[in-house]
Structure 1
Amino acid sequence: MRENVIETIKKEKLIAIVRGIAPEKCLKVAGALYAGGFRLVEITFDQKNPDSWATTAAAIKAVSEAYSGTMEVGAGTVTSVKLVELAASAGAKYIISPDTNIDVIKRTRELGLVSMPGALTPTEILTAYNNGADFVKLFPIANLGSAYVKAVRAPISHVPMMAVGGVNETNLREYLDLGMCGAGIGGNLVNKKWVENGEFEKITEVARTMVSIAKG
């Protein structure tokens, strides 16, 4: 199962990041993303509000069950072993973090899930990869610039990296051309205002554009 998820990430390239969306609306968001061609969705935990973690896990479970066999659902902003275990119990297939936490990586792998920690420097990237990360999230990529990405990639191009942080329709192709194996896309795709206004068709429209760029 873990290897299948890894292959899906490599093939599909794009992960939709569902952040700050009410859990009861996550199913509709997932439907809009699926209609637009996305097959990977990450539902994030809010670190400022631990009381919301149980409802986030419930949203992960609901989307996982509704799209079983058609979409791979992961958990985002996972910063502790406790959250790895909560996400796993909810059915998350991959664990994404903003940082490189070796305990999180190891527990993720112990549970048979795909690990995608965040990193910025060559030291962080290699620390994550050498401790079992399947992919490394280069974050926040939009603040780094293409010259930095090229420089970092040059000596460690064997590490599968995902572009995350400010990815949009304008820069997605550039990041893929720079050697990123994929990208995570948040607010530029899952726009909170669209969700609040029930304009899910706008999410589908942007999703289709992103998928077209990734396949181009």
Structure 2
Amino acid sequence: MRLKDYPRFTIIMRGYTFQQADAILKAMKGLENEFAVEMTLNTPNALEQIKELTMTYGDSIYIGAGTVRTIDDVKAATAAGAQFLLGPHIFTTEMLNYAKQHNVLAVPAAMTPSEISDMFEQGADIVKVFPASVVSPRFFKDVQAPLGKLPLMGVGGISVENAQKFLSNGASYLGLGSGMFNPEDLEKLNIENLAAALNKLISSVQGVMV
């Protein structure tokens, strides 16, 4: 998987049933270049869901694993077919090396300039700044002033209301979780409304160059 092909937005699927996850991916028809999806490993049957979703949609949508915390998580998610791995904290060298050896994008999390720099030096493809809402959009601009342009992903508190601000301040990617969809639309598997939510996000950042 090549970094340049990775979409701007990652939908974080935490605690969703397979039917709900399937509905979200169906709603992405025509928007495959805009969105990737990650199933968090603390979701029931996460590995089975990743495997099944990858078999069905893996040719057109990037499907990965989230809440990756250990080398065992890395190995299990990779075996299930995950194309990228997101973590809530920094990755060990072993985790980063394993991902690279298996052509899987590694996206560890960091919150300081030192952690961000260290993760890139050790081979991270993208560094997830988490929780992004705590450091604010300006952090992305400020941290890249001395470090140079970096592939940073804002996760944590990102919404359709503030996505433009984060991208305008230098975030290259954004991850959106529970606030992305109306709970009722997920419950009723309303693909049309789920697609409308995705399109609303795209519209909210129209004209922003990343």
Length-normalised TM-score, structure 2: 0.89
> 1:105-157 CA deviation, whole Å, 9 max, x = no partner?
22211222111111100111011111100110111111212333332222123
Contact 2:65-2:86 at 8 Å conserved across structures: yes
1:93 aligns with 2:83: yes
1:7 aligns with 2:7: no
1:26 aligns with 2:21: yes
What is the CA–CA distance in structure 2 between the aligned matches of 1:188 and 1:123, rounded to whole Å? 30
Q: Secondary structure in 1 aligned to 2:146?
A: coil
Q: Secondary structure in 1 aligned to 2:54?
A: helix
Give the AA of the match of 1:160: P
The Cα shift of 1:34 comes to: 3.5
Contact 1:78-1:97 at 8 Å conserved across structures: yes
Out of 178-187 and 154-163, give the one that drifted further: 154-163
Of 35, 56, 70 in structure 2, the residue corresponding to residue 80 of structure 1 is 70
Of 55, 58, 61 in structure 1, the residue corresponding to residue 51 of structure 2 is 61
Uncovered stretches (5+) of structure 1, i.e. residues with no partner: none
The match for 2:142 is 151
Q: Secondary structure in 2 aligned to 1:43?
A: strand
> 1:11-36 CA deviation, whole Å, 9 max, x = no partner?
x3111111111234321221123365
The match for 1:118 is 109
> 1:185-205 CA deviation, whole Å, 9 max, x = no partner?
111224544322333433211
Uncovered stretches (5+) of structure 2, i.e. residues with no partner: none
What is the CA–CA distance in structure 2 between the aligned matches of 1:40 and 1:209, rounded to whole Å? 16
Contact 1:13-1:214 at 8 Å conserved across structures: no
Give the AA of the match of 1:205: A
What is the RMSD of the two structures over their aligned residues, measured on CA atoms?
A: 1.9
The match for 1:212 is 203
Q: Where is the helix percentage greater, Structure 1 or Structure 2?
A: 1
What is the CA–CA distance in structure 1 between the aligned matches of 2:98 and 2:117, rounded to whole Å? 18
Give the AA of the match of 1:45: L
The match for 1:183 is 174
Contact 1:75-1:92 at 8 Å conserved across structures: yes
Q: Secondary structure in 2 aligned to 1:203?
A: helix
Q: Secondary structure in 1 aligned to 2:29?
A: helix
RCO comparison, higher one (Cα < 8 Å, 6+): 1
What is the CA–CA distance in structure 2 between the aligned matches of 1:40 and 1:174, rounded to whole Å? 20
Q: 1:214 to 1:34 in 2, by over 3 A?
A: farther
Length-normalised TM-score, structure 1: 0.86
The match for 2:60 is 70
Give the AA of the match of 1:182: Y
